[in-house]
Each structure stands twice: as structure tokens, then as C-alpha cells.
Amino acid sequence: MHSGPAASKGSARKQADKQADTSARRSRSAAAAGSSPSSPGSSPGAPQSLRRQLAESKKMDALGQLGGGVAHDFNNLLMIITGNVQVLKRLGEQNPRVRRAIDAIETAAQRGADLTRQLLTFSRRQQLDPQIVEIGERIAAVRGILGSTLDGNDLVIDIAPDAWPVSVDIGEFENALVNLAVNARDAMPNGGTVTVCARNVRLDRSDRYPGGDYLALSFADTGVGIPKTVVERVFDPFFTTKPPGKGTGLGLSQVHGFVHQAGGSVTIASTLGRGTTLTMYLPRAAPQPARGQALSRRTGTVLLVEDNPDVADASAVLLEQLGYAVHWVPDGRAALAQIEGGSYDLVVSDVVMPGHPDGVALARLIRQRRPHLPVLLATGYGEAARDAGRDFTILHKPYAMQELSRSIAKVMAAAG
């Protein structure tokens, strides 16, 4: 890998200031919402209720900022690990003991990536990334988490063998399932059973549904049930019947938001003393095409723009294994100079970088000056690329070679 001059990392303070501004705007919006006639703050105890809600909102936002910042740096560390694992695999492929150790490192890195994704989902700084999934496989993947969340209550999984695939953001989907498990656990103080069931349904057009094929995914508990007067409010943000300190009132509102973002709808039915069933109706997705294990070899030169030299080394390893020659520069300004004076087949750029332009601004400048030069953006922090997601392909760190290969194929095809 050829490299340009080193660059120091200096975007953390800028990102923190941006997050602080976002937090302030959210707090002002929450205060405005609390003064409306339909808000929880309009009850006789409005001032105290509103203060509690604002305090909770600020706490959640502060935790979100902390979680998002930690996840960003952690994803860069994981990118270094996953990239160098590919090198170790080549060196240790003839030694079974070394290969097992390498596989263990790779598995641990993947678990770390899953953890940071969940952290970003909690912080609401994860760019939505809908993927076509088989519901049975996803439920099986989180069954252990659901079981531990239910804390000794029985868990029954009943997924139809012909269950249709759906298109969802995996992090949001798993977060919704955990929120439902927490609610079910708290609704069964004396123990009980939770049944997760998935069935294919065809719904007629109505005010609630546009009509068509849906996967009905229900989450049923045998708990105390919810009074009819309360059922109507369970999806309201900050509404909770739990004692102070036992719930934020955001769990079911997250479920509601997730389902509607996925193009579906959600219903809830409850009987006092018998339990509650919440059903998510998710639109059927077209079957996902089979993905071969073989990676197509490519040729050409990639301009890699990354301010962290260790992350750049790890990324270059993956690109070189795909067949590319790689030239590295540490910032957007150096990248523009290279593009003016050199010939490249692809630009792969980090998003959050010191100085100007950052990755998104760089991609837009390249599109203006060299409209046929493909650009792939990579980031470990979803909020930084949220606005660019509609215009450019975003690759989330840490990524594996398969993900990199698919993303490159996508941007190459789009560039013609």
C-alpha cells in the first residue's frame, strides 16, 4: 500500500459540539411538545411531570452521546482487528491450532461489532440499514438474549417453516424484540410463558394497512394484562405504568417506530389476568438472492482516504485481497490533489476526518468534478453519514471482505 503524509485525528471535538447542539434542539422540542394539549404534561401535575420527562430525555440523550462516541472509536479498533485477521488466516491456514485461535479472534470481533451496533441503535445514531432477512434465522440468533432477558420465564418459539422474508434494520429489529421481552418479564411477576409466533397473512386494504402480504410476528405473554384505558396509551413516548426508576416509557414507542419505519403496523390485545399479545405486521419482502462464497477478483487502483493509519492498513489488506492496488492519503484535501493528478478506478473514503472536506463533502466534490468515478463511504458512526445515505453507498465499520466486495460491486454498477 502506497501512503501519503500522516495526519492527526482532530474531529472529536467538532463531533461533540454537533451532538451538543442536537441535544439542545431535542430538549427544546421536547419542551414544546410537553406544552401541547395532548401531551402528558397537560395533566394537573404538569410541571412536575414535564420536569421528569425532560430530565429523562436529557439523561437518555447524554447516554446516547456517550454510547455513540464510544461505539465510533470501538468500531475503528474492530476494523483493525478484522482486517488483520485476514492476514493471519493466510499465514496460519496450515496449522489447525493457529487457525482455531484466529477463528476465535474473528468471532469475538463479530460479537463486538454486534454490541456496538446495539449501542448505536440505543443512542438513535445508527443509520437505518434495511436488509432482507429470514425471520426464523434472526429469532434463533437472539434466542439466548431473549431467554436471559426473561429471567427464568418460559420461552416458546413457533415460526412457520414457510415464513416469508421481511426487510428490516437488524439492529432495530433485535432492539424491538428485547424491549418486548423486558415488558413481558415485568408483566409476569409470578412467572409465566412468552410465545413468539410468526405466520404469513394476507390483509385487505384498510386505513391501517395498504393491503398485501405480511408476516405477522406476535409476542404473547401470560402476565397480568393491561386495562383497556391503558392499552390506548402504551405506544406513547414516556408513558409507563411501572414504578419510578423501573422504566423509561420508551420501549413500546421504539417498537411502534421500528414497525412503521419498516412499512408495517402493530396491534396489541390484552385481557386482565390472562396476558397480552402484541403483533407486528411486517411487509413481505422479495426472496434474497443466494450469495456465493467465491469473491470475484478485480483489477484497478483504489484511492483510500482514511485519517487513522492502522485502520487504513486493515482496509488496504482487504482491498488488496480483492485484487486492487491501493494508494492511501490521510485526508480529503490530499485526496482531491491525487484525483486531479492521477488515475483511479475507485475512491474508498472514511466519513469523519479532520479538516475540510470530510468524507461526505469529498464524495460530493468528486461527483461534481469526476461524475463517473465511483465513491464508497465507510464509517463507524452512523449519524455522521445519515444525510449522505440517500446519495451514496455507506459501508459500516467494521466490515468483512464479503461486505466490502458487495458494496464495491454496487457503486461500480451505479457508476456505469
CA–CA distance, 131 with 407 (Å, rounded to integer): 13
CA–CA distance, 40 with 378 (Å, rounded to integer): 41
Contact 392, 309 (CB under 8 A): no
Contact 1, 348 (CB under 8 A): no
Residue-wise pLDDT tens for the chain (416 aa)?
655 443 433 443 344 444 444 444 443 343 343 333 333 344 444 466 566 656 655 655 665 566 666 766 778 888 888 888 877 887 777 788 888 888 888 888 877 776 666 555 555 555 566 888 899 988 988 898 898 889 889 999 999 999 999 999 887 888 889 888 988 998 899 999 999 999 999 988 765 666 789 999 999 999 999 888 787 777 766 556 665 555 555 567 778 777 877 888 889 999 999 999 999 999 998 765 544 444 555 789 999 999 999 999 999 989 998 999 999 999 999 999 999 988 999 999 999 888 899 999 999 999 999 999 999 999 876 565 566 656 888 888 888 888 899 899 989 988 86
The count of other CB atoms within 10 Å of the CB of residue 390 is 6
CA–CA distance, 120 with 67 (Å, rounded to integer): 7
Residue 3 host element (H or E): strand 2-3
Cis ω for the linkage preceding 357 (within 30 of 0):
yes
DSSP H stretches of helix in 249-392: 251-261, 309-321, 332-341, 359-369
Domains defined for the chain, CATH in brackets: 135-283 (3.30.565.10), 301-415 (3.40.50.2300)
